[in-house]
Amino acid sequence: MSRGGTRGHTRVRSVRGRSEQSRRWLERQLNDPYVKRAKAEGYRSRAAYKLIELDEKFGMLKGVHRVLDLGIAPGGWAQVVRKRAPKATIVGIDLLPVDAIEGVTILQMDFLADQAPDALRSALGGEADLVLSDMAANTVGHPQTDHLRTMGLVEAAVEFACEVTRPGGSFVAKVLAGGADSALVATLKRNFATVKHAKPPASRKDSSEWYVVAQGFKRRQVPAED
């Protein structure tokens, strides 16, 4: 590595065995102010600041007592909740192993597994004030397929949130470019008082991710039958 350019920009040299894509990723990480800030402030990932910025805009974490974190790895969002709502019960789930976080119950299992909903309900011990979903499907390199797989996870998260959220509670989920599709937005609007899309500053400009923020849960509303 070398340090050069303006304002201490760190450049990463090309070396044998390192792809150009890997070199660019490493250079971006080394120069990302959110990565540096996360390291300095003890957060596990720069994604923590996405939730912080969303909370500053929408106030979802104020007064929460029970929070579900779907797709918790590596744990940055749960750390934010722990800091901003220190007395809250926090339950997370992920396929990947996640290092323990004090005061957080972590389930290593597939959110789509048949036993996952009951396991989450049991660990939470009551209705959720807030359901967070930062889940995204593993990419296969085909944009349309990747989008469909990730949105399938979002739809499953919405379905579950509508079953476990208390009246007045909130739901936040990562979606992709264009936001949630019209059918998903319609479902959220039936069940929540407000539904908005946001791209927090910590979300990289070249990233396709957006977040949907639904607040004021009304109690589950099912579509009318034809």
Which residues does the annotation place in the binding site for S-adenosyl-L-methionine? 75, 77, 94, 110, 134
Non-local CB neighbours of 154 within 8 Å, separated by 6+ positions: 133, 135, 173, 174, 175, 180, 184, 212
Q: How far apart are CA 43 and CA 225, in angstroms?
A: 47
27 near 3, Cβ under 8 Å? no
Residue 141, φ and ψ in degrees, nearest 5? 90, 0
Q: How far apart are CA 19 and CA 115, in angstroms?
A: 41
State yes or no: is 174 an active-site residue: yes
Among 142, 215, 213, 141, which Cα is nearest to 174's?
213
104 near 90, Cβ under 8 Å? yes
Instruction: Please tell me which residue in 39, 57, 174, 196 is annotated as part of the active site.
Output: 174
Q: Which residues are annotated as a binding site?
A: 75, 77, 94, 110, 134
Active site residues: 174
